[in-house]
C-alpha cells in the first residue's frame, strides 16, 4: 500500500502522499491492496483525507 499511495497521488488528488505514508499504520502499509479488508481500506482512506492535503480542512 505504501507504493500505491505514492504512485497514485496524481489520480487520487493527494497533495502530500508522504504525509499519508508517515501517518498510516506500518502494518497496513505493508499489505498488498488486494489483501485489504474494507475496514482496513476505510482506515487508510481516513488517514489520506486527514493528512493527504495540508491545505484542505476536513469536513
Per-residue pLDDT tens digits for 4-51: 999 998 888 888 999 999 999 999 999 998 999 999 999 999 999 888
* Residue 47 forms part of a structural domain: yes
* Residue 56 forms part of a structural domain: no
DSSP code of residue 28: H
Q: Which domain holds residue 17?
A: 2-51
How many domains does one find in the chain?
A: 1
| pTM for this predicted structure | 0.78
* Residue 58 forms part of a structural domain: no
* Residue 39 forms part of a structural domain: yes
Q: Which of 7, 54, 47, 10 is nearest to 27 (CA)?
A: 47
Q: Which three three-digit cell numbers place residue 32?
A: 498488498
* Residue 34 forms part of a structural domain: yes
Question: CA angle at residue 31 from 29 to 11, to 5 degrees?
Answer: 65
Amino acid at each position: 500500500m505504501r507504493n500505491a499511495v505514492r504512485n497514485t497521488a496524481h489520480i487520487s488528488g493527494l497533495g502530500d502522499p508522504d504525509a499519508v505514508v508517515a501517518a498510516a499504520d506500518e502494518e497496513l502499509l505493508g499489505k498488498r491492496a488486494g489483501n485489504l479488508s474494507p475496514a482496513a481500506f476505510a482506515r487508510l482512506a481516513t488517514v489520506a483525507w486527514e493528512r493527504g492535503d495540508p491545505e484542505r480542512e476536513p469536513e
